[in-house]
Structure 1
Amino acid sequence: MLKRKELARKAVRLIVKKVPKEKESILKVDEFLGTLSTAYRKDKLLRNFFLSPQIDRNAKVKALESLAKKYDVPKEVLEVLEYLIDINAMALIPEIKRLYELELEKLMGMLKGELILAKKPSKKLLEKITKTINDILNRQIEIEVKEDPSLIGGFVFKTQAFVLDTSVKTQLEKLARVGGV
């Protein structure tokens, strides 16, 4: 049997191959995989449901179909996930989501990032930060904004391979480490 990481890579390649190449479909699959991955990681009952040999394959497939229908996911993607059910490899979903995001970046020339600020930014400030990040990385960025009051000020921007931390919290921590505070 294939090693788990290689199996996840193959599943992602199949998904990418089967998903229609328009942006909307690609993003729907990403959102679906994100929801499935988060639920799988955080919900022990769901995890046990998919991993239990006691639960009928058809029940697992129906559960996936129900969720996929909400996201309008192409049936070809479900075929890949059904195969994972058949070989009891649903534990790969978080890794598949991660690898799919990397493929999404390549496919669309678009980067997904997380922008964390101490408080919710104004629309104007968010546009300015987004434009600056787009210019620096020379790519289109899809940004998810989160709040973390512990940052005090500034922001943290993260992608799969890049972190930019301008937060006051980090600056104070650096000062404390070198004996400045």
Structure 2
Amino acid sequence: MSIIAVARRYAEALADVAINAKKAEETDRELLILSELFARNRELRTMYSSPIVKRKDKEAVLELLIARLKPGAITANLLRTLLQHHRLHNLDVIYREFRREMDRRQGIVQAEVTTASPLDNSQQNMLVAELQSITGKKINIEYKVDGSLIGGAVTRLGSVVYDGSIKTKLKAIQQQLKTAE
């Protein structure tokens, strides 16, 4: 089973528990902090992915981490479960899937919009309104700027990409000219 499929199972179960306990936001904040900690600390990731490091040593470090960061019971239990099943080094993937699951349950769609130059507030508001009317869901947009697009925008909604950039249109024209020769 792929790590994404495994992470999705943990994420769905975690979302169920966190929502039922009314601790979803707290769990989200704690997992964000922990996944960033693991992302920044290569030694930590290496230790938890290594079969050479003894389980009791991994448990001792985890308990120190829990004592120091003081996460809630849900997060602490998740960490212990991940350690038990040799998945703690995949915390970043599990957190990402947890975020997706929470967004899905709240009717939120993540979007990424890349433009050649920054959009002003009114343009951003118009884009949000348009995407919400298309999807029928709340939209959370991450804006990026890429000058190589020349103009237009590339919008990614989940796995669907809408490419309205001038760069792509010019490439298409160039390809047509090459095949016409």
TM bin (shorter chain) = 0.7 to 0.9
Cα pair distance change 1:50/1:139, threshold 3 Å: same
Cα pair distance change 1:134/1:5, threshold 3 Å: closer
Alpha carbons 1:117, 1:148 under 8 Å: kept: yes
Cα pair distance change 1:63/1:165, threshold 3 Å: farther
Q: Does 1:99 align with 2:97?
A: yes
Q: How does 1:1-181 map to 2 (within 5 A)?
A: 4-20=3-19, 26=24, 29-30=27-28, 33=31, 36-37=34-35, 40=38, 44-52=42-50, 53=53, 55-63=57-65, 74-179=72-177
In our comparison, the structure showing a higher alpha carbon Rg is 2
How far residue 36 of structure 1 moved from its aligned partner, in angstroms, is 5.0
TM-score after normalising by structure 1: 0.74
Between the aligned partners of 2:40 and 2:163, the Cα distance in structure 1 is 27
Cα pair distance change 1:85/1:108, threshold 3 Å: same
3-state DSSP class of the match of 1:121?
A: coil
Between the aligned partners of 1:136 and 1:4, the Cα distance in structure 2 is 32
TM-score after normalising by structure 2: 0.74
Between the aligned partners of 1:129 and 1:32, the Cα distance in structure 2 is 31
1:110-153 deviation per Cα after TM superposition (whole angstroms, max 9, x unaligned): 11122222222111111111111111111110111122222222
Alpha carbons 1:14, 1:80 under 8 Å: kept: no
Could you list the runs of 5+ residues in structure 1 that have no partner in the other structure?
A: none
Could you list the runs of 5+ residues in structure 2 that have no partner in the other structure?
A: none
Cα pair distance change 1:132/1:64, threshold 3 Å: farther
**Residue type at the aligned position of 1:135:** S
Cα pair distance change 1:34/1:113, threshold 3 Å: farther
